[in-house]
Amino acid sequence: MTRQGITTQLVHLDRTSNHIEQGAVHSPTTNSVLYEYKDAQAIIDVFQGKKPGHVYSRSSSPSVSALQEMINKLEDGVGALCFATGMGAISSTLLALLKQGDHLIVSRYLFGNTRSLMGSLESFGIQISYVDVTKLTEVIDAYQPNTRGVYCETIANPVTQVADVQSIGSYCKERDILFILDNTMTPSAIFDAKAMQASLVLSSLTKYISGHGNVLGGAVVDTGNFLWQHYPNIQQQYKNGDPSQWGLTQIKKKGLRDMGATLAPGCAHAISIGMETLALRMQKACDNALKLATFLDSHEKIQDVFYPGLSNHPQHFIAREHFQEGYGAILSINLHESIDVVAFLNSLKLVICATHLGDNRTLALPVAATIYSENTPQEREQMGIADSMIRLSVGIEDIDDLVTDFTQALNNFNLST
Ligand SMILES: *Cc1c(COP(=O)(O)O)cnc(C)c1O
């Protein structure tokens, strides 16, 4: 049977799953922490992994399981786990799979908090090589016998570098190492991580997937591309049954259960509602971003525009191959040097000054003085972050209103000569 479109699958999944009662089209929000077993042998079997079931909601609950099914559908994987936040998913996954003496090849262009986490992993004795993931050769050169995998993001923020995901995926497959991909910026509505040979797909559900800025969440999906029989760190007790589940089992036990970044059932419901319109919102946001980037790129008061959909972007050709449905909705700009960043942001009337992304509303943030204020000017320069850089997360408003807002804001400033 041909695979249904993603929106069709998402809006009908709960209704057609076996956990639905009395014609409800949404999975119920079940708040029970504990689960009663009338037969004591049954709880023993569930504990020992011989039978499926819920025992304590830090590890699993019906509402979160229903969302995990949806997330897994989204990536066409062999299983998914949800967490309280994106960082919960990332930290639990890495801590569950890596150990002292391992080596990880990591993108130099990372979400700041993930970069900070990598620093903590280094202090625990995990070796990390930071490379330019737009170039496969840098990944190849960083390989060592103890390399367990490559970690990167599809499109980095704020400078929008596009990783050469396809080449990295093929290389990891050939080397038999994990390819861990943070796909928050380009959810599956516009990007097929499984086809690019990602092993584990990480997402902040807080961003595009839920989309409305009203809930935090994170997820990891196993695409089934990686053969866990070949991974040296799977503990003996998790090598029961189907090998395709070994990785997620260890992440569930050593990550979710032991570290406890559990998603709340009510949050799972909010995320599932947001997800129903993911493809529609993504399409609109990507269309808006391309139009806004094109407008800003031609404006004399804007020095630079960073957006993978523009033909002057350094990785535009990679982006064209990877993202057929749209180039994401993050773009960054450098204002003309005579324009004060704070004054400019204060003159925007519709666009919100806030630190978030993937929202229905268009957001703007002066990145150098906020997210990167803990970095030195030299570090910012290496990352390509100018003092005047503004990151825009383009929302789903009507494009004319966005262009009008930027036009009126820019009209407040004269270029000094
Ligand atoms: C926001 C974000 C995260 C972290 O997600 P939270 O849900 O805020 O914890 C991780 N990776 C990327 C690329 C992000 O944008």
Strands 147-153 and 103-107: parallel
362 lines ligand 1 (CB under 6 A): no
pLDDT, residue 15, reads: 85
Residue 47 lies in a domain: no
- Of 106, 207, 214, 267, the one to substitute when testing ligand 1's pocket (max ligand atoms within 8 A of C-beta) is 207
* Listed residues 275, 304, 337: the one ending a domain: 275
Which residues have C-beta within 8 Å of that of residue 378, sequence separation ≥ 6?
none
Say yes or no: 241 and 101 in one domain.
Answer: yes
* Listed residues 231, 258, 275: the one ending a domain: 275
Q: Give the residue-averaged pLDDT of 265-288.
A: 97
65 lines ligand 1 (CB under 6 A): no
417 has a pLDDT exceeding 70 = no
1 has a pLDDT exceeding 60 = no
> pTM for the whole thing?
0.96
Q: Which strands make up the sheet holding 218-222, listed edge to edge?
A: 79-83, 218-222, 200-204, 178-182, 147-153, 103-107, 127-131
208 lines ligand 1 (CB under 6 A): no
Short-list 210, 269, 203, CA closest to 66: 269
Residue 106 lies in a domain: yes
416 has a pLDDT exceeding 80 = no
**Nearest residue (CA) to ligand 1, atom 7:** 86
Residue 67 lies in a domain: yes
pLDDT tens per residue, range 305-364: 999 999 999 999 999 999 988 999 999 999 999 999 999 999 999 999 999 999 999 999
Short-list 130, 360, 97, 417, CA closest to 251: 97
Q: Are 272 and 260 in contact (CB under 8 A)?
A: no
Distance CA 195, CA 116 (A): 29
91 lines ligand 1 (CB under 6 A): no
* Listed residues 275, 298, 333: the one ending a domain: 275
- Quote the longest CA-to-CA distance of the chain: 83
103 has a pLDDT exceeding 90 = yes
385 lines ligand 1 (CB under 6 A): no
Atom of ligand 1 nearest to the CA of 88: 9
Domain that includes residue 319, residue range? 282-410
Give residue 204 CA to ligand 1 midpoint distance, Å.
5
204 lines ligand 1 (CB under 6 A): yes
Q: Please return the burial class of 43, using the count of CB atoms within 10 Å of its CB with bins 0-12, 13-18 and 19+.
A: middle
Say yes or no: 271 and 290 in one domain.
Answer: no
109 lines ligand 1 (CB under 6 A): no
Residue 50 lies in a domain: no
17 has a pLDDT exceeding 90 = no
pLDDT, residue 16, reads: 84
CB atoms within 10 A of CB 401: 12
Say yes or no: 155 and 300 in one domain.
Answer: no
pLDDT tens per residue, range 126-138: 999 999 999 999 9
Q: pLDDT class for 60, splitting at 50, 70, 90?
A: very high
- Domain tally for the chain? 2
- Of 106, 155, 162, 206, the one to substitute when testing ligand 1's pocket (max ligand atoms within 8 A of C-beta) is 206
Q: What percent of the chain has pLDDT over 90?
A: 88
Direct distance between the N- and C-terminal alpha carbons of the chain, in angstroms, rounded to an integer:
65
**CATH, residue 354:** 3.90.1150.10
